[in-house]
Structure 1
């Protein structure tokens, strides 16, 4: 009888088992840093400032793989004013890499007429009971709309819940 009580006590102290699918939402801020194309190198903060506000949902099928969809309105500010100049629809696959790292392989469809792919590398910095703080490195490749192909680097941070 004593060993049964020890076993039950030991079991109750273990971390609960995750059930799937698991759904999480998130919000963040993304700063495009630099964009390269045959037109040259364009950096944020030089002639204008562009900032995006990703809002998304992740649906994890298992601890290793999931689906994500986000919408990102981008605001562009110049010396003459500011406006929403683009909205990005960004669906993709999630792959857990371990140690708080996740890879997101995203398709990209922009209201500006551009399309492409965005590999994103994400790292959870602080995990709380009901939320997590993260940083991410998006690497957008864009095509179309009679503009040269481009490749960029950005920085994103946010909170998932």
Structure 2
């Protein structure tokens, strides 16, 4: 008796299952900070840079939760040190076409707190990772210091 082999095939689908968890790491450069004393630019007597790492938990294709930790390094007069650690939880909103708005709360070990809206854009996609750029606009209050608003530039890799 002969048997005829049958092949069962199924169509591949590219459906994403939610919740979806992604991680990322990057470099953040403050550009200018506005406060009571006017505008203060980075490199004006010192350089400060942040190294954000985080996790995004997407509940759906449009919304998610994000948590980021950012150690800030300050270099001035030939020395450098970590001078602040930022805890940065928030909500994600996909704007389409590779754009995402992260609406973050900000809690700093320096005693400052505030909010940071971040506009993020994926600039290169691959199967396992994406490169992105972002424009954070942090507003900070507290710790007996004047309120400030800043603009920064961030780039990194998401996986």
Q: Shorter-chain TM-score category? A: over 0.9
Give the SS at the match of 1:12: coil
CA RMSD after TM alignment: 1.3
Which residue of structure 2 lines up, in the alignment, with residue 21 of structure 1?
19
Could you tell me which of 46, 68, 71 is aligned with 1:70?
68
Residues 15-41 of structure 1: CA distance to partner in whole angstroms, max 9, x if unpaired?
411100000000000000000001221
Q: Distance in 2 between matches of 1:46 and 1:147?
A: 19
User: Structure 1 length as normaliser, TM-score?
Assistant: 0.91
* Separation (CA, whole Å) in 2 of partners of 1:72 and 1:119: 15
> What stretches of structure 1 move > 6 A for 4+ residues in a row?
none
Over alpha carbons, which structure has the higher Rg?
A: 2
Query: Which structure 1 residue ranges, 5 or more long, are not aligned?
Result: 1-7
Q: Which residue of 2 aligns with 1:37?
A: 35
* Aligned equivalents of 2:145, 2:40: Cα separation in 1: 14
Q: Does 1:52 align with 2:50?
A: yes
Match of residue 4 from structure 1: none
Of 109, 117, 123, 1:125 maps to 123
After TM superposition, give the deviation of residue 80 of structure 1 in Å. 3.5
Q: For 1:39 and 1:91, locate their aligned partners in 2 and report how far apart those are by CA, in whole Å.
A: 29
Q: Return 5+ residue gaps in structure 2 as ranges.
A: 1-7
Aligned residues: 152
Q: TM-score, normalised by structure 2?
A: 0.92
Deviations 1:101-160, CA, capped at 9 Å, x for gaps: 000000000000000000000000011101000000000000000000000000000000
Match of 2:11 in 1: 12
2:150 aligned residue (143, 149, 152): 152
Deviation at 1:79, TM superposition (A): 1.5
